[in-house]
Structure 1
């Protein structure tokens, strides 16, 4: 199995990364960005991710294809436990890529049956390689989209969705950009899949493929890490965070053996939704673990503030428990009642989308609960520089609660990061839009929900 050192060394491969207008020569030594690399590397320190496969020997549990309900339950636990190992911050390094591979495995078989293609063999070959080499994978799905009222082929600028611009004997050339590609800058491979349903007029945009992160013509522009640079008193983000990039494909060449969908527009939506289902199941698994940060910070803040036994505090704590456990229960239900597709156990879309939509809609309530318990001081407390200055002792004196000011200040700094900082804004946006927006979950719920049971009941009552 790959080591942490092997992984970090592999990132020094000449990939084109940009941060705040400058080319990043070595992300593993960059003052700010190295934290994301070290976070990804924690995957290789987590011993419980390794298992013995009958065919390929030792490999990561993330690459274990879910054939059964138990496999999905094991995957849920793996994601939850690894998130806890990484201080409550999701480690996406092999999770999102394997989500995409599972979706590709199913879709490839369907396309092959209809069109006589050989995508299944390509996907299987790619899967075996990344599993044997223990690689990290980012998935680029969300196109920049341009004018949202227009389809891909109707855009003023045709590059608003990733598309095929040339076809060669040995592969294809693609152009366009994908937004918010998580941990792409510190991944070995980038898997690209469609973001939506396509029509015949959009067939140039119906493309799925994989390329190494250092491929010629591939450029990644890393978002500002304001949770560190914008908050000198941050605690969590200095230990773990994940970055996102605007991932640009400037006429990138993709060999045929790495192409998994090529203009079969009628399967673009199938692939997009299958990936979303697996990925939302992943989201429920890691988000329920992440909520331990808010639950723990709220509980400890209530203690240092001396209000642990107040009724409104208990109500706030129960609210966070409800949020966390509804997500976890939804993930478990989705695993227990999977849908079988091409022999693969797909998380039940109903329970997956119910849990995900609840997660989207109510995270702001969790932030409110933390703020209510921690108090307004988390927005107005003196800076870390003040606390470390000659005046620090005088400041700490007036931060006393049920414990001394120094101990309470430590708790308040984490509460501030979670509830009143740039990190809060990042999470609020992510909890609403990551792994699919609220509207996406609503559309899928309404489209796929079986109304017959309810309709028949009412018809029977009315008869």
Structure 2
């Protein structure tokens, strides 16, 4: 059964332990700052209740009836292309800002389906059935999910089991017949405060010595022993009373350090319990699905920048200038390259019979993700070059509310046409918000979120099939007399 917005927000008022700026937050949905990412997340629930978007947001599940399409298990190219369009369009409907609250959890579920089948095959465990039981529960209740993968890591030159403080990686501290107990902490847990359930998976490969760190599970966000410490939402706090800013007041997500202090996980919710030789596979399969999500939402974010750049160039009367065209070409190339790699990844997908799901092509996905990471700063440079200095020095909204100042501002901030002045001002304000109050967040996110530049580089070099390239090199140089592949 699909939840509505009110039911979703009420479901978060469950006694979860959340701190913001040193104070315990009793109800995240009602909090002046944290309520913003909750409201942003609720946009997914709002869209799925809107008949206009029903076909995009919902599918008919054989067991549950109408369900969120984020949880539709991809079976083929068509399903993956539809998922790309879903993430692209919901990002556009979020004013160019990604809405992660079901996307990341479903990415993790698909990875767990794939890996659990292989663990069961080797160790005769029952993980796949547990994963699918949890999946059915999420679909039937229409729950929001967050994913906790990145450990705190401590001394990064040491493996998990070698850390001076064992809690630098989430690990099993006790096992009994009913379940396991875990301690440790995860960083960058996006929208955990706005999620019903938290899925936890390993961040890296493990050795036998690290087996207690090879753990995966799902647990309600209000479980005893879980504490979430939210980052300060400076981009929201600085725009809370700014009538000319929109994104920071309505479309922001929040990350937490998520602490597990001797948390009990019932056995039916445990998906990896010391099988260290599968920790790396799970740590790799989740990013495969999530980087596909990343290039889809980043394409939509680029669409926002293209439109902003084109409008500002037009309002400034310079949209026909060669330097502006070059700037716009960079933005267009960025967006369309990401879309192309997402679609190529869909068409080159592989179907896994064991887990009954389609997997995006790992090479095209990582090519797109690496391109997105390495070229984001160039995108920012070009949009700023289009906008000009006013993107940094635009007066405040209070100045436009003072009638004495407004007369001057409306006169001197006019561009090509006087009747476009306020539209031009709003575009400058929005872009300034994007590159200033949101700037540091996006700069770090576009380089590190969904895996760093190094992570995509490693995956490309590890997964690429070099055989035909090597064969061609041997043939071209005369080492071989004929081309084998």
- What's the TM-score once normalised by structure 2's chain length? 0.93
Q: Cα deviation per residue 1:153-190 (whole Å; 9 max; x = unaligned)?
A: 11111111100011122111100111111111000000
* Structure-2 residue corresponding to 1:447: 462
1:69–1:345 contact (8 Å) kept in structure 2 = yes
Structure 1 residue aligned with 2:51:
none
Of 423, 428, 448, 2:438 maps to 423
What does 1:208-357 correspond to in 2, within 5 Å?
208-231=216-239, 232=242, 234-341=245-352, 342=354, 343-357=356-370
Equivalent pairs counted in the alignment come to 462
| Structure 2 counterpart of 1:75, from 73, 83, 93 | 83
1:406 is matched with 422
Give 1:388 shift.
2.7
* Closer, same or farther: CA 407–79 of 1 in aligned 2, 3 Å: closer
The aligned counterpart of 1:371 is 384
Deviations 1:208-249 (A, max 9, x none): 001101111101111111112235553322121111111111
Choose which of 381, 401, 407 in structure 1 pairs with 2:394. 381
Please identify, of 53-62 and 120-129, the stretch whose mean Cα deviation from structure 2 is larger.
Answer: 53-62
- Offset, 1:387: 3.0
Matches of 1:167 and 1:452, distance apart in 2: 45
Contact 2:92 2:304 in 1 (8 A): no
Find runs of 4+ consecutive structure 1 residues off by over 4 angstroms. Answer: none
Q: Distance in 1 between matches of 2:407 and 2:203?
A: 54
Does the residue aligned with 2:363 lie in a helix, a strand or coil? helix
340-349 vs 126-135, which moves further: 340-349
Partner of 1:143: 151
Matched, 1:434 2:445: no
2:111 aligned residue: 103
Per-residue deviation, residues 230-278 of structure 1 (Å, max 9, x unmatched): 3555332212111111111111110000000000000000001000100
| The one of 91, 100, 109 aligned to 2:99 | 91
Q: Which moved more, 1:36-45 or 1:382-391?
A: 382-391
Provide Cα deviations, 1:277-319, integer angstroms capped at 9, x if missing partner: 0000011111111111111111111112111111111111111
Match of 1:206 among 202, 214, 217: 214
Confirm or deny: 8 A CA contact 1:83 1:90 kept in the other structure.
yes
Whether contact under 8 Å (2:236, 2:252) holds in the other structure is: no
- Describe the shift of the 1:199–1:322 C-alpha distance in structure 2 as closer, same or farther (beyond 3 A): same
Q: Would the aligned equivalents of 1:235 and 1:413 in 2 still touch at CA under 8 Å?
A: no
SS of the residue corresponding to residue 476 of structure 2 reads helix
Question: How many Å separate the matches in 1 of 2:414 and 2:330?
Answer: 27
Deviates more, 1:161-170 or 1:326-335: 161-170
Q: For the residues of structure 1 that align with 2:206 and 2:477, how far apart are their CA atoms?
A: 42
- The residue correspondences of 1:15-54 to structure 2 (distance < 5 A) are 15-46=16-47, 47=54, 48-54=56-62
User: Distance in 2 between the 1:338 and 1:113 partners?
Assistant: 23
Work out the CA distance in 2 between the residues paired with 1:65 and 1:381. 47
Q: Does structure 1 residue 4 correspond to structure 2 residue 5?
A: yes
2:481 is matched with none
For residues 50-94 of structure 1, the C-alpha deviation after alignment (integer angstroms, 9 at most, x for no partner) is 111233321111111112121111111111111122221111111
Choose 195-204 or 49-58, whichever is displaced more.
49-58
Instruction: Name structure 1 gaps, 5 residues minimum.
Output: none
Q: Could you state the TM-score of these two structures normalised by the residue count of structure 1?
A: 0.97
Q: Take 1:156 and 1:190, find their aligned partners in 2: how far apart are those partners?
A: 27
Partner of 2:162: 154
Contact 1:301 1:415 in 2 (8 A): no
Structure 2: gaps (5+ residues): 48-53, 479-485
Match of 2:477 in 1: 462
- Give per-residue Cα distances to partners, 1:414-443, cap 9 Å, x unaligned: 121123x02011111101100000000000
Shift of 1:5: 1.1
Cα shift at 1:458: 1.6
Asked if structure 1 preserves the Cα contact closer than 8 Å seen for 2:36 and 2:252, the reply is yes
* Structure 2 residue aligned with 1:126: 134
1:391 to 2:405 alignment: yes
C-alpha separation between the residues in 2 aligned to 1:80 and 1:205? 35
**Contact 1:208 1:259 (8 Å CA) reproduced:** yes
Q: CA deviation at 1:394?
A: 2.6
